[in-house]
Structures are given as structure tokens and as C-alpha cells.
Amino acid sequence: MLKTENKQKRALPLVRTKKTRKLIGDIVCFAVALILSCILIIPFLWMLICSVQPESSLIFMNPPVWPDPIRLVNYKEVFFEIEMPLLFKNTMIIVVSNMVIGIAASISVAYAFARNRTREKNIFFSVLLATMMLPWVVTLVPQYIIYNKINWLGTMLPLIAPSIGGSAFFIFMFRQFLMAIPKDLDEAALIDGCGRLGILIRILLPQCMPIIATMIIFSFNGSWSDYVGPSIYLTDPDQYTLSIGLSKYLVANSVTPWHRVMAGCVLFSLPMIVVIFTCQKAFTRGIVASGLKV
């Protein structure tokens, strides 16, 4: 009895020490995350304050002062001056096309890599991963030459057509996620008479919503904020995207109206912020789960 009591007394300080260390670790992690969040949000807050200034020169104050009264008319002025409804429509055409085509193609290829039992699939998968190491600037000139020869310059096709083959990064993530799902589900569905396409749509996709949300966020942000592609391939002002429209508005005036430019940048950023916060939980689960099994 005495030995048991002594062991329990010795174990209590150890348990308290572990709990204390865990609590201290959580506090430190939270403090670091809070500091980093405050640092990262400073540019957006700076842009927001500058967007409601009554004069362009006031945004160069360090730091800018919150105006009184707030000039919300800057948003209305930049909305109509750069023809934002037209730019928004053009941008959404490219974004939605890339999301639907690119994600569907990536899912199909990833499903083949995850469930196909041929030996050669590992070789092809290695080649696919090797393409991720190739910088996009290396293929920019050859792509431009090809699109020029097939008369695609001045259209949206060069910005949409590459998504037909899917994304190597998306294929890799989705394949990793599928590898963590037991193949017994596929075999049970096959016994019940379900085809391969039916297994993918009815059995696997409902379990893959976190990784699909992750792909949606990456695809949306990549297409929405793309500037290089539209600036190279789009020549007609009626086809300009929001990123091109804002850059043209920036250089169109002899004296840059920075307060209205900042208002345009806030409007440009809002859809990306909404998408990220809407899919935040699923996005986090997808990033973690995609690395469970190789």
C-alpha cells in the first residue's frame, strides 16, 4: 500500500508538469500566430484606409490617418471609371472555365494514378511530378509562339485551354488523398454493379470534399489574380480582366488618383477573401490530409 501511494505521489507532479508544458506551448504558439497575423494584415488595413481618403496625396502619410468624414464615393467612382462590370464578367469567364475544366481533368488523372494497378503508372507519375520543377517562364515563349501560329492571340483561349490537361499540383494532391481511402470501398461497389465512373462520382468524391475545396481555392486565386497571362494574350480592351483594367487605370492619368486605385484594389481583393474564408475549414483539412500516405 505504501509503495502504491508513493508511486501515485510521484506521478502527480509529472502529470502537472506535462500539462503545464503543453499549456505554455499552446500559449506561445497562439502568441506567435497572433503576431504574424497582425503583421500580415497591416498591408490590407493600410490599403483600406487609403481607399477612403478624400485626396490622393494623403495616402503618403506615414502611417495614413483614418479620414473624417470617410469618402466612400471613391469606390463608386473607380467602379464606373474602369468599367468594372465588364472586367468582372471577363474575369469570371476565365476563372470559372479554369476551375471547372482544370479540376475535372485533375480528378480524372489522379483517380487513374491512384487506382490503376499497372506498373508503368509510377513512371508516368514521376514524369508528371518532374513538370512541377519546370519554371513557367521557361515555357512562356514556346507557348506564345504556338498560340500565335494557331491564331489564338487576342482571345481568351490561351488562358483557358491549358487547363484541359489538369494541374500537376492538383493531380498530386488528389492522388495523395485517394491513396488514403481504402480500396475495399471500390471492390464492394464493383460487386454491387457500380462502374468505375460511378465509384468515382458516388463513392469517392463525397469523401474528397476537403481536397476539392483546396483545389477550388488555389484555382480561383490563381486565375483571379493572374496578370502576366492576360497582359500577354489579351489585346482587345473589351476582353480585359480586372488585373489588367486596374493596371491600365493606374497609368491612364497624368496624376495617379491613388485613393481611387486603392479602392479598386480593395474591390479586387474581396472575392478572394470571401472564397478563402468560406472554404477555410475544408481547405485546412485538405492540406493536412493530402500528405497522409504516399
- Least confident interval from 56-60, 119-123, 165-169, 233-237: 56-60
Q: What is the mean pLDDT of residues 73-93?
A: 91
Q: What is the secondary structure of 182-241 as a DSSP string?
A: -THHHHHHHHTT--HHHIIIIIIGGGGHHHHHHHHHHHHHHHHT--HHHHHH--SGGG--
Categorize the per-residue pLDDT at 287 as very low, low, confident or very high, splitting at 50, 70 and 90: low
Indicate the residue type of 16.
R
Residue pointed to by grid coordinates 477550388: 216
Residue 292 confidence (pLDDT): 41
- Tell me how far apart the alpha carbons of residues 92 and 260 are, in angstroms, rounded to a whole number: 23
CA distances from 274 to 203, 207, 221, 268, 270 (A): 29, 24, 11, 11, 6
Residue 210 confidence (pLDDT): 83
Residue 6 confidence (pLDDT): 55
Residue 291 has pLDDT above 50, yes or no: no
**pLDDT tens sequence across 88-143:** 999 999 999 999 999 999 999 999 898 887 878 888 888 888 888 888 888 888 99
Residue pointed to by grid coordinates 472586367: 87
Residue 244 confidence (pLDDT): 92
Residue 249 confidence (pLDDT): 86
Residue 166 has pLDDT above 70, yes or no: yes
Environment class of residue 55 by beta-carbon count within 10 Å: exposed (0-12), middle (13-18) or buried (19+)? exposed
For the domain covering 73-289, report its CATH number.
Answer: 1.10.3720.10
Residue 198 confidence (pLDDT): 85
Residue 285 confidence (pLDDT): 64
- Tell me how far apart the alpha carbons of residues 137 and 168 are, in angstroms, rounded to a whole number: 16
Residue 11 has pLDDT above 80, yes or no: no
Please count the other Cβ atoms lying within 10 Å of the Cβ belonging to residue 40.
9
- Least confident interval from 42-46, 89-93, 102-106, 189-193: 189-193
Categorize the per-residue pLDDT at 288 as very low, low, confident or very high, splitting at 50, 70 and 90: low
Here the cell at position 75 is: 469606390
- Tell me how far apart the alpha carbons of residues 149 and 143 are, in angstroms, rounded to a whole number: 10
Which residues have CB under 8 Å from 51's CB, separation 6+? 74, 75, 259, 262, 263, 265, 266
Residue 283 confidence (pLDDT): 65
Which residues have CB under 8 Å from 142's CB, separation 6+? none
CA 232 to chain centre: 22
Among candidate residues 229, 222, 227, the one with its CA nearest the CA of residue 272:
222
Residue 67 confidence (pLDDT): 76
- Give the helix/strand (H/E) hosting 33: helix 2-51
